[in-house]
A = this chain, B = another copy of it.
Amino acid sequence: MQMILKIKTPDQKGLIAEITRVIFEFNLNILKNDEFVDKENNLFFMRSEMEGDCSIKSLQKAIRALLSPQANIEVFEAKRKKIVILCTKENHCLGDLLIRYDSGELNADILAVVSNYTLLEPLCQKFNLPFICIPSENLTREEHETKVLKVLERFPSDYIVLAKYMRILSPNFVKRFEGKIINIHHSFLPAFIGANPYKQAYERGVKIIGATAHFVNNALDEGPIIYQDITKVNHAMSWKDMQKSGRDVEKIVLAKALNLALEEKIFVYNNKTIVF
C-alpha cells in the first residue's frame, strides 16, 4: 500500500526527526519526502510518500500525538481520484483531458461533464461520459447553481475542474468546495483579471501572454495559483490569434495543475500554494 502524509504545523526543532521516527516505527518506507519551512510565519510543511502496511488511523494518531494542537495532519492511501468537469463552449481543455483519460495517462476517473451549453455534448458522448446540460437562461445565478449542485451531489468527486467554464461561481458554491475547485484562467494572473483577457492583452500591447491554473475562492480570479505558463506574442497577432495560441498554454497548464492536485502535491496556505 502506498500512502501520503501531509503535515502543516508550527515549526520547531526536531520535527523531521520525530515524524520520520514514527514513520520508521510503523515500518514504512519513505519513497519521497519534501519539507519546507516558511520562516516568515514559522510554519513547517512536510509531504511524504510512503510504502508499507499499517493502519492509517493509528499512524495519524501517533503523529498527532507528536505535534502542536494547531497542526494540520492528513494521511491517506494514494489512490485514483474522481473528478467532475464543468465547461461551456470551448473544447480544447475538455478535449485535452479526454485524450489523457482515453490513454490512461490521467490518473482520475471522469464521472461526468456539466455544461451550460449543449455544444460539447457530442464530444463527451464519443467518450461515453455522462453529459449534463444545465442552461442558465431564465434562471437566477442561485437557481442555476442549485441545479449544478444537485448534479455534483449525484457525482461526488475529489476535484471539480473548470475547463473553461465561463460562469462566475457564487461565494456559497465556492465555500462548499473549498480547495476542491480548479480553474484555468486565460491570462497570466494577476494581469487581466475578468472578461476577455486576450482582448485586454492585445489592447495593452503585451509581448507575452499566459494562463493560470488556480483554486477558486470568493474573489474573481484571485484564488491560490497552482501553475502558470506563458507564450510569446507579437504586434502582427490579432486578439483572436492570441486566443488561439493561448489555448495551447491553457490546456497544458490546466492538465499540469490538475495532475499536481491528483497527486496531492499541493498545500494551500495564505492564498498561496506550496507545490512539492
> Taking beta carbons and an 8 Å cutoff, which residues of A are in contact with B?
13-14, 16-17, 20-21, 23-24, 27-37, 39-40, 90-92, 95-96, 98-100, 102-103, 105, 123, 126-127, 188-192, 204-208, 210, 224-230, 232, 234-236, 238, 244, 247-248, 252, 255-256, 270-275
A-B contact pairs, 9 of them (CB 8 A): A32-B37, A92-B103, A98-B99, A105-B244, A190-B206, A205-B270, A206-B225, A208-B230, A235-B274
**Assuming A31-B37, A190-B192, A248-B252, what are 16 further A-B pairs, CB within 8 angstroms?**
A13-B30, A14-B24, A17-B21, A31-B39, A34-B34, A92-B105, A98-B99, A99-B99, A188-B188, A188-B208, A205-B273, A207-B227, A207-B228, A208-B229, A230-B230, A235-B273
Q: Which residue of B lies closest to A270 (CB)?
A: B205
If A14-B24, A16-B30 touch, whether A225 touches B207 (CB-CB below 8 Å) is yes
Q: Which residue of B lies closest to A23 (CB)?
A: B17
What separation, in Å, do the CA atoms of A230 and B204 have in the docked complex?
17
| B205 with A225: CB separation less than 8 A | yes
Q: Which residues of the other chain, B, contact A204 by a CB distance below 8 angstroms? A: 189-190, 225, 272
Partner of A17, one of B24, B232, B275: B24
Partner of A272, one of B29, B103, B205, B247: B205
Q: Which residues of the other chain, B, contact A192 by a CB distance below 8 angstroms? A: 190
Partner of A102, one of B13, B23, B123, B255: B123
Whole-angstrom distance between the Cβ of A39 and the nearest chain B Cβ: 8
Partner of A206, one of B96, B102, B189: B189
Q: Which residues of the other chain, B, contact A252 by a CB distance below 8 angstroms? A: 248, 252
Whole-angstrom distance between the Cβ of A230 and the nearest chain B Cβ: 6
What separation, in Å, do the CA atoms of A15 and B272 have in the docked complex?
32
Whole-angstrom distance between the Cβ of A257 and the nearest chain B Cβ: 10
Q: Which residue of B lies closest to A105 (CB)?
A: B244
Q: Which residues of the other chain, B, contact A229 by a CB distance below 8 angstroms? A: 208
Q: Which residue of B lies closest to A206 (CB)?
A: B225
Q: Which residues of the other chain, B, contact A207 by a CB distance below 8 angstroms? A: 225-228, 275
Q: Which residue of B lies closest to A239 (CB)?
A: B40
Q: Which residues of the other chain, B, contact A105 by a CB distance below 8 angstroms? A: 92, 244, 247
